[in-house]
Amino acid sequence: MATPNKWVYCLETTENHPLSEQYKSCLELLDDITKQESDKKIKTPFFNEMALNLDAVELAKNKSSRNSTMDVGFGVQERVNRKINAFILCEYKLNCKSINNIHEKDLMKKVNGSRVLLGSEIPIDSKYLFIFKSKIKSTAIHRLKRFGKGKQIFIALDLQDLYNNYFKKEGTTTFE
């Protein structure tokens, strides 16, 4: 099994983001957001984890001119010392059938719109997550590696990876 990344989900960081406090109705169960962004029949590993629905915040904030944003943001803290917090940006591509329709400028537009929306009160991690179905994940990994001007800032995962890398607690069962 791969070494876990440095971050782990943090409900407190998620709930304490200024947008979570200002737009409480946009703080939703990650399971619900995942199902909204997929074919609704998808099995998710999430139960009570909350995330900020960035599309809903953008709609509530800018009813007339909506900017492109990532689907969700959630708070994390360092896995080891738990002293540093950040926010993770995540976009669901669970309905994506062809990786060829994904373009770097469109991804950057979503990232930049989300960064502006979230502000700078809580740092935003520089790795942006894109969640694909397992069967196209490896193709997505190769495509996204070519973006980002030599830096791997766009990370292709499937739901299993998302859960195991950011939400799984030590000693709990891995989602498969």
pLDDT in tens, 107-164: 999 999 999 999 999 999 999 999 999 999 999 999 999 887 778 899 999 999 999 9
Average pLDDT over residues 25-40: 91
Q: What is the pLDDT of residue 63?
A: 73
CB of 76 within 8 A of CB of 20? no
pLDDT-derived band at 5, boundaries 50, 70, 90:
confident
pLDDT value at 44 more than 80 = yes
Measured distance CA(4)–CA(163) in Å, rounded: 11
Residue 104: CB atoms within 10 Å: 14
Measured distance CA(159)–CA(58) in Å, rounded: 24
Which value, in Å, is the radius of gyration of the alpha carbons in the chain? Answer: 15
pTM of the model: 0.91
